[in-house]
Amino acid sequence: MSRVLVIESSARQHGSVSRQLTQDFIAQWKAAHPVDEVVVRDLAAEPVPHLDADLLGGWMKPAEEQSAAEQAALSRSNLLTGEVLDADVLVLAAPMYNFAIPSTLKSWLDHVLRAGVTFTYTETGPKGLLTGKRAFVLTARGGIYAGGPLDHQEPYLRQALGFIGIHDVTFIHAEGLNMGNEFQEKGLASAKAQLAQVA
């Protein structure tokens, strides 16, 4: 049995390709694998605040020295990090905004990339602590960027996930969505074919 954590980051609740891919993935994964639980965190519906002084204080100050705001920020980070720790499979739905990931997804990462919790510093450098997990990243892109110099999504997310020990990462890109009907249909068909294979 497995626990799946889905992180939605599209600003659109309707007409979102990344959300469509997420639903397809969940249905296919459930059909092929025994699943205990699917937890969906929607960063558009419930945005995570940017990393700020309150969060840093919550991480770094002793409990008795924390303000109420710092305690609240720490509790939020603990909740988000706990969801990742509990998950066996992580699904990131990430539309491309201005060549990169949505800022809401970056804020989520800032809450869960935590020294001593999801990674640790060693004499040979940082070491990820979340080994044994799988991750799938479902992207939606107006143009075609995979493997090119303007694709800042995949390299960044591979590095961020690898930093916390998640190295088994599969990217599925739906590309060319704003390049006309032919490219759109081809991009969606390619993404859905890859989904069927990995699920």
In the chain, the domains with their CATH numbers are 2-198 (3.40.50.360)
pLDDT of residue 66: 96
pLDDT of residue 127: 95
pLDDT of residue 23: 94
pLDDT of residue 195: 84
Helix/strand/coil for 73: helix
pLDDT of residue 184: 85
Signed CA dihedral, 72, 74, 75, 79: sign only = positive
Strand order in the sheet with 2-8: 35-42, 2-8, 89-95, 134-140, 168-174
Give the Cα separation of 18 and 171 in Å (integer).
12
Ligand-binding annotation for 137, yes or no, is no
The overall longest dimension of the chain from CA atoms, in Å, is: 61
Signed CA dihedral, 12, 15, 18, 23: sign only = positive
pLDDT of residue 161: 98
Ligand-binding annotation for 181, yes or no, is no
pLDDT of residue 191: 87
Ligand-binding annotation for 16, yes or no, is yes
pLDDT of residue 153: 95
pLDDT of residue 8: 97
Give the Cα separation of 135 and 125 in Å (integer).
23
Ligand-binding annotation for 1, yes or no, is no
Q: Which residues contact 103 (CB under 8 A, 6 or more apart)?
A: 50, 97
Ligand-binding annotation for 98, yes or no, is yes
Ligand-binding annotation for 2, yes or no, is no
Q: How confident is the prediction for the chain on average, in pLDDT?
A: 93
Alpha helices in the chain (DSSP H): 17-32, 53-60, 68-86, 103-112, 153-163, 181-198
Give 169-182 pLDDT, tens digit per residue.
999 999 888 888 88
Collect the ranges in the chain with pLDDT lower than 70: none
Model confidence, pTM: 0.93
pLDDT of residue 197: 83
